[in-house]
A and B are shown apart, each in its own frame.
Chain A
Amino acid sequence: MDNDKFKKQSQEILSSFTQDPPDRVWHAINSRLDARKRKRRILFWLFPLSILAGVISIIPEQQTPKIKPDNPQTHQQQSASKANQLPAAEIAERAQGQQETTQLNDVSVQNPSNKASESNPVKTTGKKHKLKEAYADELMQSETENTANPIEAYQSQELPFKALSLVEPVWQSEITSPKPINHYPSVNKDTMIILTCVPQKSKPGKLISWHYSGAYSFHGTGDLEGMQLEWGFSKTINRYFAFYNNVGVSLHGGSVVQPLNLNILVGPSAALPVGQGSVYEITSAIQTAPTLLGSVPATPLRIGVGGLLRYQFYSGGNGYSVQRNQNMQTFTLRDGNYNGLSLGYRVVVGLELLNTKRNKLQFQAGFQNDTRGDVITGLGLSWQYTKQ
């Protein structure tokens, strides 16, 4: 039997060969399809949510009305009038000194730079509180008249309760809403807090950094290679996290047509020479990937996860790609939507190589996948400049 006959005979016999797969195969397919559906749903929401988070992070903080510094004269008048209003019984009580100490059960927070907090003390509990308020007023009065240390002033008068002076930088919006007493864990109920607020123009730690990244990357299964460039800015959320908004471009090219690696066999036919069996393709894209950046404490490792919005252009134009035909001698131009928008996600892992006050340099590895099934992996460097 010659070779052709053996082949033909094998083909004929095997063309009728079928085998029923067990039910577990369909069950597995079914559950994987369900999982893909869920994943697609998550992807669908991931992008708008990350965009929303990005928008929230870049909206300027709400401006609070500026608080005019206290007029010492007015303040003195207010304090004096309050002191005058003290009932005689309370003034006598004040003289009793230490005996009252254990009975005091409240704390007042006084803010010398803020009238609003005067009208909004943390708690008020009857006579005892009024007594302390009177002390506080007197303290502030003495503070404006001479520059004596408030703690010493209290101590010299043998106060019936402990006094603690705190100097705390506060952001302007915080001045109008005094912090609850449990904000100061070391303070007990018998302590009077003299809170000196130092207004800050912006919250400390909210830094803006500019990022410039470049990566050598692969598109698809590695048959297209090229590069990605990205520019963006990040704003710190807290010590460990920052939100990164960016825009990037990518360019990839390569020979992609291998007879068995394409699945599509349909579309308007057009005979192309087999040639070397491959066609050069180029993809270019513009994308944005709002990313939550996190740093792993005590390590140089940085991780970023976020959504992806990508518009890709394909060198074959919108509508054509090539596919080898079954006869192995011609190609088919396949129809499809190759220029288009897609949603996806991106994961970035970085290793910090340099970290100075203003500059950071990271070695980065990235992976992204989108709804068109485009996978891009890359390795590169990212430079981060922080405005101080």
Chain B
Amino acid sequence: MQNEDLIKACRKGERAAQKRLYDEYAPQMMGVCYRYAQSLQEAEDMLQEAFIRVFSNLDQFRSEGEPGAWIRRIVVNCAINAIRKRKMQISSWDNQPEELHPITDTDPEIKLDAKELAYLIQKLPDGYRIVFNLHAVEGYTHEEIGKVLGIKPASSRSQYLRARALLAKQVNVLQQKSK
């Protein structure tokens, strides 16, 4: 079944087609959720919510587009909404002490596999993790991140630099251990 036919069948509410679409994209999207979530359980919740929204809004999807990019966007939205629901004080990121995780320019070359890197990203503090994911992986600018999260672009920038510094440190530690 072509993507177009699959989407049409999903729109009609055919459960077998919906399962097929889920099977095709769920592993990739679970990887996205895993990076944003604090735990595996939270990642599963995000994925569940995202696919409910995918199936509910399929009539707004134009068949000539690529479903993967569309689904990924929904997944990222759901991840951000889930983080907001946790009532995380995003505005408090603006006033974090610099000495907590000093910004450094020395970054190691990453010789880790995807799972190890995703694990390290997941273990970053909330603010660092979200800004790092949005900026480094999804490609948002700091201005856009500021608007989405309701923080100043400068805060997003400093969050990202600290996240990168902390991540680099942890990458180093892990790479040294594996030697």
Residues of A within 8 A of B (CB): 1-3, 5-7, 9-11, 13-14, 16-22, 24-26, 28-30, 32-33, 36-37, 258-261, 263-267, 277, 326, 328, 334-336, 373
Contact pattern, B 117-155, Cβ under 8 Å of A = 1, otherwise 0: 110010000000000000111011101100110000000
**When chains A and B are docked, how far (Å) is the Cα of A277 from the Cα of B117?**
32
**When chains A and B are docked, how far (Å) is the Cα of A3 from the Cα of B60?**
37
> Quick check: B35 and A265 within 8 Å, CB to CB?
no
> Quick check: B31 and A265 within 8 Å, CB to CB?
no
**When chains A and B are docked, how far (Å) is the Cα of A330 from the Cα of B168?**
33
Contact A10 B110, CB 8 Å, known A259-B144, A264-B60: yes
> Quick check: B80 and A263 within 8 Å, CB to CB?
no
Residues of A within 8 A of B47 (CB): 21, 25
> Quick check: A33 and B137 within 8 Å, CB to CB?
no
> Quick check: A19 and B34 within 8 Å, CB to CB?
yes
B56 CB–A CB distance under 8 Å: yes
Contact pattern, B 49-90, Cβ under 8 Å of A = 1, otherwise 0: 001110111001110110001100110110010000000000
Name the one of B61, B110, B141 contacting A266, with C-beta atoms under 8 angstroms. B61
> Quick check: A29 and B48 within 8 Å, CB to CB?
yes
Contact A33 B15, CB 8 Å, known A20-B30, A263-B70: yes
Name the one of B76, B107, B114 contacting A14, with C-beta atoms under 8 angstroms. B114
Min C-beta distance of B65 to chain A, whole Å: 4
Min C-beta distance of A80 to chain B, whole Å: 79
Residues of B within 8 A of A10 (CB): 110, 117, 136-137
Name the one of A7, A260, A328, A373 contacting B80, with C-beta atoms under 8 angstroms. A260
Nearest A residue to B79, CB-CB: A260
Residues of A within 8 A of B74 (CB): 263
* Count of CB-CB pairs between chains A and B under 8 Å: 135
Interface size on B (CB < 8 Å)?
56
Residues of B within 8 A of A6 (CB): 107, 110, 136, 164, 168
Min C-beta distance of B50 to chain A, whole Å: 10
> Quick check: B31 and A14 within 8 Å, CB to CB?
yes
Residues of B within 8 A of A5 (CB): 107
> Quick check: B48 and A25 within 8 Å, CB to CB?
yes
> Quick check: A17 and B108 within 8 Å, CB to CB?
no
**When chains A and B are docked, how far (Å) is the Cα of A17 from the Cα of B120?**
13
> Quick check: A21 and B44 within 8 Å, CB to CB?
yes
> Quick check: A13 and B57 within 8 Å, CB to CB?
no
Q: What is the interface of chain B mostly: helix, strand, loop, or mixed? A: helix
B28 CB–A CB distance under 8 Å: yes
Listed residue (A19, A29, A266) with the most chain B CB atoms within 10 angstroms of its CB: A19
> Quick check: A335 and B168 within 8 Å, CB to CB?
no
**When chains A and B are docked, how far (Å) is the Cα of A281 from the Cα of B19?**
36
> Quick check: A13 and B136 within 8 Å, CB to CB?
no
B99 CB–A CB distance under 8 Å: no
Nearest A residue to B168, CB-CB: A6
> Quick check: B22 and A13 within 8 Å, CB to CB?
no
Min C-beta distance of B134 to chain A, whole Å: 8
> Quick check: B114 and A328 within 8 Å, CB to CB?
no
Nearest B residue to A22, CB-CB: B44
Min C-beta distance of A57 to chain B, whole Å: 35
Nearest B residue to A19, CB-CB: B30
Contact A265 B65, CB 8 Å, known A18-B28, A259-B148, A328-B141: yes
Min C-beta distance of A370 to chain B, whole Å: 14
> Quick check: A1 and B107 within 8 Å, CB to CB?
yes
Additional pairs, 12, CB under 8 Å, beyond known A14-B137, A25-B48, A32-B52: A6-B136, A14-B35, A19-B115, A20-B27, A25-B44, A36-B52, A259-B140, A261-B77, A263-B60, A266-B64, A326-B69, A335-B62
Residues of A within 8 A of B73 (CB): 260, 263, 265, 326
**When chains A and B are docked, how far (Å) is the Cα of A92 from the Cα of B18?**
90
B13 CB–A CB distance under 8 Å: yes
Min C-beta distance of B45 to chain A, whole Å: 9
B174 CB–A CB distance under 8 Å: no
> Quick check: A33 and B55 within 8 Å, CB to CB?
yes
Name the one of B26, B34, B56, B76 contacting A260, with C-beta atoms under 8 angstroms. B76
Nearest B residue to A34, CB-CB: B15
Residues of B within 8 A of A3 (CB): 107, 164
Min C-beta distance of A1 to chain B, whole Å: 4
Nearest A residue to B13, CB-CB: A37
> Quick check: B27 and A21 within 8 Å, CB to CB?
yes
